[in-house]
Amino acid sequence: MFVQLRKITVTEGNAEKVVEQFGKPGIIEQQEGFVDIKIMVKKQRGGKEEVIVLVTWESEEHWKRWEKSDAHIAAHRAKRNQPKPEYMLNVEVGMYEVKAVKKATGNKQNESSV
């Protein structure tokens, strides 16, 4: 698996705008190899909020195909000359190869018998 992480810092009270933007339906969900998007918000002191967006793909190759796709390029071209929203203070992007995943195992206390 392959994960793109975006760390977006915004002014206080504006995290929900970012959540809405990344949470609405789009064409990415239809792309081969797309797994999911997780959106998390961390409240910070000092008038800032942090939004983490994790986009998970089956592989780096699937992500590369999406990045090079006509649909992805067209979406970014449409936004090219638009100014960055004033509430957006910083954006950091990182790419990560998932090396290990731990999943829950059966927990007898949480199982109920019928």
* Average pLDDT for the chain: 90
Q: What pLDDT, on the 0 to 100 scale, is given for residue 88?
A: 94
Show the domains of the chain with their CATH numbers.
Answer: 2-100 (3.30.70.100)
Rg, Å, the chain Cα set? 17
pLDDT tens-digit profile of 55-64? 999 999 999 9
- Residue with the bigger pLDDT between 20 and 109: it is 20
Q: What tokens were used for 53? A: 């967006």
Q: What pLDDT, on the 0 to 100 scale, is given for residue 59?
A: 97
Average pLDDT of span 5-34: 94
Q: Say what the pTM is.
A: 0.83
Does residue 78 register a pLDDT over 90?
A: no
